[in-house]
Amino acid sequence: MARANHQTRSTDAPRDAIALLKQDHRAVEALFEEFEDADESEQSELATRICQMLTVHAQIEEEILYPQAKEAFGEEDDEKVYEAEIEHGSAKELIAKIEAGTPEDPEFKPLVKVLSEYIKHHVKEEEKEMFPALKETELDLKEVGSQLAQRKMQLMEQMGIEAEEAPTPRKRASRSKSTRTSAAKSRQARAGSRTKTARGHASRARH
């Protein structure tokens, strides 16, 4: 029953398909950036997360968006969709290699780097070409967005992926903690300085 209620909350408000997919793009980009600065002990988990998110993202596009986009574009203008499908195929090959490896493998980081560059190219073409073209069609993007959101949630549950779409802001939290610690030390230092000054004045007053 609890899961059913969760599904209702997640899908009761239609979302624009393009907004949803762009949100996915930004989340994966953030994960790639985090991977670049991560320790080897963290890279395996981050790479797994990247591969999972891209797998789900590609599947909902292939199952829901691309077929409807082809129909909306018509035969004369559906090359964008076929090109995107081909790019998905190449990305899946890289994902399979990453999932089969470990951070100890010499090709592990280069594979993730190549995947990052490949996804950047794919995202640029979707956001600069396909998405604007879709807005010019009669496709109901809110309805498609609702379908994408529901299917995405189903796939993530099946794969055991956490529901949040953005990476945990571990580094930002760490910096914030450091900032708070630094500020506390600064306050303590100022307080100590004031105490010493007050003691000095009191000593001189006694003499």
Domain ranges of the chain: 2-168, 169-207
Measuring CA to CA, which residue among 32, 87, 28 is closest to residue 53? 28
One-letter amino acid for residue 91 of the chain:
A
Handedness of CA 15, 17, 22, 24 (dihedral sign): positive
The segments of the chain whose pLDDT lies below 50 read 1-14, 165-187, 189-207
**What is the per-residue pLDDT across 81-92, written as a single tens digit (0 to 9) for each?**
999 999 999 999
- In angstroms, the CA 55 to CA 57 distance is 5
In the chain, what are the helix, strand and coil shares in percent, each to the nearest 5? 85, 0, 15
**What is the per-residue pLDDT across 95-143, written as a single tens digit (0 to 9) for each?**
999 999 999 999 999 999 999 999 999 999 999 999 999 999 999 999 9
Structure tokens at 36: 């670049």
Handedness of CA 107, 113, 119, 122 (dihedral sign): negative
The owner of tokens 């006694």 is 206
* pLDDT for the residue numbered 40: 85
* pLDDT for the residue numbered 173: 41
**Residue 138, helix vs strand vs coil:** coil
The owner of tokens 């949040």 is 164
- Name the average pLDDT for the chain: 80
- Report yes or no on whether pTM surpasses 0.75: no
**Residue 94, helix vs strand vs coil:** helix
